[in-house]
Structures are given as structure tokens and as C-alpha cells.
Amino acid sequence: MATEAHFSGVIAPVLTPFDEEGGPDAARFTDHASWLLAEGCTALAPFGTTSEANSLGIEERMELLEELVDSGIDPGKLMPGTGTCSLADTIALTEHAIEVGCGGVLMLPPFYYKGPSEDGLFRYFAEVIECIGDDRLKVYLYHIPPVAQVGFSLPLIGRLLKEFPNTVAGLKDSSGDWSNTAAILAEYPQLEVFPGSEIFLLDGLKHGAKGCISATCNVSANAIRKVYDSWQTPDAERLQAGITALRKAIQAYPMIPALKAVIAHYRGDPGWAAVRPPFMPLPAAEAEKAVRTLAEAHGFTLDFADAA
Amino acid sequence: MATEAHFSGVIAPVLTPFDEEGGPDAARFTDHASWLLAEGCTALAPFGTTSEANSLGIEERMELLEELVDSGIDPGKLMPGTGTCSLADTIALTEHAIEVGCGGVLMLPPFYYKGPSEDGLFRYFAEVIECIGDDRLKVYLYHIPPVAQVGFSLPLIGRLLKEFPNTVAGLKDSSGDWSNTAAILAEYPQLEVFPGSEIFLLDGLKHGAKGCISATCNVSANAIRKVYDSWQTPDAERLQAGITALRKAIQAYPMIPALKAVIAHYRGDPGWAAVRPPFMPLPAAEAEKAVRTLAEAHGFTLDFADAA
């Protein structure tokens, strides 16, 4: 029995705002999440790499997830990141995500110890899945070798799919390597595959991808959604060229500080620019330049008029 | 005011045994820790890389640390690893270590996000130290770029020492690069420096290192201690050659599974060989070969007669 498709479309790894004491700011966070859904996101992936999730504590992550659900967001639309380097913490976060009703979880491989064997990674995921032992668990494998260093080979994906066909539902490919995404799509058509950048959205959809999960969805969900909605129309290539150009303009800056600086500017809320170390905020001149470049070269703007 | 010297000698990053359900085995753990001190370890660094600390949960680490102290081990001799990729969890583990009376903590840099700026890393440690705000805190920087990927440059060490002279007490250098250790020793003589391998023990001591913190202390503390005790005697070079050869023989195998296999053999306790994924236990034939090679080529044996 194949796993039912659960997620598709434009999914944002929700940025995590901080308050003046450096703690997660739940009010700004839930406001932003609601605004993202209003902007066109079909689902949300809080606690991804872009969310500075790996700079958050286990308790902080659980509390923020509960805030999202308490704010009225349908937990079925949430695919929180729950993978840590520790088996125990990964199980705890994943059980909590199931408990609050999340539609799926996005799971990093254990990333501290480098060069793990395929057997070791297989055993890790097997222990997580078997220990949780819950049919509601839908795992999206999070492949991001440029950051995690540890990733999912094609054979490992195949072994996990074969052993846990009702649990391993999909994969986010943030390798930045289209040939890897294409190989996964060709080999495992039953998997819900999401490229980690909208640059590959149109190509992905043509090859069977379900959408994308991308950092820049935090500011340009609207434009990305247009590509998703019209990918079979004559306009698709032109729209894709627009979001590709915007993405490249944004990723010329350090991604997380730049996204936060852009939101801080358009919200008129300087506090939004705060990042947790080891990140540093974009210097003021860089932030201004980023905003100006995006506006002038790409007609980019953000409208928070509808936001609370 | 310079920081007082707190640690010296032969320090083991204590292996973490697991029980049949895969949970940490507190009884085996505290037995092993006591045996290590009886074997000649001057102090213990639980929750290091060798301890599979990054495969343990935050709660599991706190509970095991309390077990060590409750078992009667002087907490002043403990330098637990408390660095995680998260600011919040690192603060929580470090505050807990201070609370139970630990003499110091061994702190990894935040290691998920790659290529952090020197400013970002400085700010991370500054926030940890200032947020804790406790004069009892003594931080040993844990430099292990082959695994963590993120490390401590000489200028970063200098900035931290200058800003927090009473808190930043030392550094473990697991770069495996003697020229880096030598440069740190030359540049920052006020720092308590520990090479991460006993291969560099004698050279280190001659250049001002305080001892070593090494995985293999889990099985060969006795021989390593002899080098430490007699490093200014004519016998030092010969003794150093012996522990260097033994280390090289052990590190020909995957280090953590091999150390556990050796202990399992000499304790007659197969359960000791269990590792948490992503590690895999050494296959039986490999384990036997490791034990035989160490015994035949190096006269290596372990005596647990005195152990509880």
C-alpha cells in the first residue's frame, strides 16, 4: 500500500523572529505564519534550516509549534523540522509533532558524526520510526548536504521506502543539484519530492515534483504560487524566469539575515531583523542595498496591509 | 587576573554504554567512570565526541551527569561536554553542569550552520557566557574541525580570552594538526591546552600543554598516565612510542565501536559493545581481530578485577 499524498505546492520554512532578550517571539512568529498562508503558501515547514531551528532549544521548538496551532493554523498544513543529531531529541520532537496533529515532519539525518555508513543511517531512521510506532507519522527526508554534510543516497532512500512504505512520504532536496532531484523523481515516483529552491520549481513539476519548500517563500510566496498554479500554461516559463531572477538576487546576500532584513523593512519593524548567533544581522547599509536592489531590479515589494 | 588552572593530566571522554532497549546504561556508565579514575585518569570529560554525546538527548545528558555525581565522583574532576548547535540547549546544559559542581565544561561551537563568521561565533560564546553570568563557569573550547566542521581560529581564541579572561580557561585541540596545537600554546600560554590525542602528549607537555583529553584513555589510561608522570625522565620517549603505537593500532578501526568492543571483550559483557545509530557495532570478526592485534602486537590487556 502506497503512502497517501499529503503535501503539495508552495511551502515556507517559516523564519523565526526573536524578541529583545533574544528569545523566540511567538507573536511575530504566528503573525508571519498566518501572513504566509494568506500570501499563497499551501503549507508551512517551521523549524527548517532557514528557521534557525538548529539554534533553537528542544523546549523552544515545542512551545513555538504549540503557539502556531493555538493561533488557529490547521496542524495538517504543518511539516515541522524534527531532525536533530540526537536519536532521543528527534524522537521527542517527532512525537510532539504527531501529538499536536502535524501532517508530516521534515527530518534531517543525524548530522554531527561525519561519514556515517548507509547501514548506520538506515538503522537510525528505523529506530526513530519503530520507537514512535504511530501510523500517523509521515516522514519527509531532509537532504541538505551543503549544510548537514550527511545526506541521503539513492540506495538509502530506496531501503527506507521499501521498509517503511506507509511512513516515508517524501523528501526535500536542498542539494542544489538538479540532477540529483531528477534522479530521485525518476527512481522513486511514489515519493513526494520538493526541491529546496524555487529555481527548480517548473522543471520539478514537469518531472513529478509536488512543489517546492524554499527559504525565499518567506518573502515571495505570492510569485512562486503563480508559477505553481500556472505551470501547464504558456505563461509558465516567463513567470519561472521572474522567480529565478528574484531568488538569485536574494541569495547574493546571506540568506537568513537578508530575508529578515527585508521583512523588517516592509513591516517597519526593525526588531524583525534579529538573528541568533552564530548568525549576524545584515549591516544597515547592506540591508538597505538589498531592499533597494530587489525593488528596482525586480519590482519587489511586500504588503502587510492585511496582516494583523 | 588570569584564570586559575583547574585541569591537568590524563582525561577520558567517557564512553556511554547503552542498555538492551537502547537507553543510556547508568550503572555501566558510573562503573566505567570509577574504573577510569582508578586506572589513572586525573579527570573525566563525559559527553565528548567519543561519548556519542551528540546522539544523546538533552535530558539523557543531564540525568547521566547526575548519576556520575551521585555515584560519588568528585564533580570538580568533571569537564562535561555541553556544547550543542543550539544556544538555548548549550546554556541549559552548561547551567546544569555548574549547578552539580563540575570543575569546567568542554564546549563545542555551534556546528550546524557552516562557515559562520568570526563575529558570529564570538557573539555566540559571549551570549552563552553573559547569559549564564556565573563566576564558577570555566569554559574549555572544543576544537574538532574534522567532525564539527566549525572550529576556533587563533584570532577568535584571542578575542574570547581577552573578553572573558576569568571564564575561558582552556582548549581541547582535536584538529590532529600538531602545528595548530603548537601555535595555540605559543600564542596563549595562559590557556590550559589539551591535545585531543595522546600521540601529541609528550610534545605537548614540552611546549606547555597540561595533558591530553583522548578517546583511547577509555582503555589505555594507565599507559598514558605513565608518560604524563615521567615526561621529564629519560624513559619518556620510549613510553611515548608505546602509547603512540597503541593509539595507531586502535584508530585503524572505527574508534567508538572499537573501544566498546575491546571493553566488552575484557569485561566479558557483550552488551558493552552497543552503540547508538548512526554508529554500527564492529562486526564480530573485526572485534576479535582488534582484540587479538592489540594483545599480540602491543601486549595490550585490560584488568577489571578491581572494578565493581
User: pLDDT tens digits for A182-240?
Assistant: 999 999 999 999 999 999 999 999 999 999 999 999 999 999 999 999 999 999 999 99
Query: What's the pLDDT score for residue A306?
Result: 56
From the candidates A42, A84, A124, A172, give the one annotated as an active-site residue. A172
Average pLDDT, integer, range A271-299: 96
Q: Which residues of B touch A111 (CB under 8 A)?
A: 112
B255 in contact with A, Cβ within 8 Å: no
B155 in contact with A, Cβ within 8 Å: no
Query: What's the pLDDT score for residue B307?
Result: 53
* Res A79 pLDDT > 50: yes
Identify the segments of chain B with pLDDT beneath 50. 1-3, 5, 308
Query: What's the pLDDT score for residue B305?
Result: 73
From the candidates B124, B140, B142, B253, give the one annotated as an active-site residue. B142
If you measure CA to CA, which chain B residue comes closest to A114? Answer: B147
Sign of CA dihedral B113, B114, B117, B119: positive
A37 in contact with B, Cβ within 8 Å: no
Return phi, psi of residue B10, to 5°.
Answer: -110, 115
Query: What's the pLDDT score for residue B106?
Result: 98
A22 in contact with B, Cβ within 8 Å: yes
Nearest to B50 by CA among B205, B247, B182: B247
Burial of B69 (0-12, 13-18, 19+ CB in 10 A): middle
Sign of CA dihedral A6, A8, A11, A13: positive
Largest CA distance in chain B: 55
From the candidates B49, B82, B90, B167, give the one annotated as an active-site residue. B49
* Res A2 pLDDT > 60: no
Query: What's the pLDDT score for residue B2?
Result: 39
Q: Which residue of A19, A50, A84 is the best one to mutate when testing the B interface, meaning the one whose CB has the most B CBs within 10 A? A: A84
The answer to whether the CB atoms of A277 and B55 lie below 8 A apart is: no
A112 a catalytic residue: yes
* Res A162 pLDDT > 70: yes
Q: Which residues of B touch A119 (CB under 8 A)?
A: 280
The answer to whether the CB atoms of B89 and A276 lie below 8 A apart is: no
Query: What's the pLDDT score for residue A297?
Result: 87
A142 a catalytic residue: yes
Q: Which residues of B touch A86 (CB under 8 A)?
A: 54-58
CB-nearest partner of B87 from A59, A116, A276: A276
The answer to whether the CB atoms of B92 and A57 lie below 8 A apart is: yes
Q: Which residues of A touch B280 (CB under 8 A)?
A: 117, 119-120, 123
B22 in contact with A, Cβ within 8 Å: yes
What DSSP string runs through chain B? -PPPP---EEEE-----B-TTSSB-HHHHHHHHHHHHHHT-SEE--SSTTTTGGGS-HHHHHHHHHHHHHTT--GGGB--B---S-HHHHHHHHHHHHHTT-S-EEEPPP-SSSS--HHHHHHHHHHHHHHH--TT--EEEEE-HHHHS----HHHHHHHHHH-TTTEEEEEE-SS-HHHHHHHHHH-TTSEEEESSGGGHHHHHHTT--EEE-TTHHHHHHHHHHHHHTTTSTTHHHHHHHHHHHHHHHTTS-HHHHHHHHHHHHHT-GGGG---TTS-PPPHHHHHHHHHHHHHHH------TT--
Burial of B207 (0-12, 13-18, 19+ CB in 10 A): middle
The answer to whether the CB atoms of A114 and B147 lie below 8 A apart is: yes
Average pLDDT, integer, range A45-68: 98
Q: Calculate how close chain A gets to B114, using CA atoms only, in Å.
A: 6
Per-residue pLDDT band for A307 (boundaries 50, 70, 90) equals: low
A113 in contact with B, Cβ within 8 Å: yes
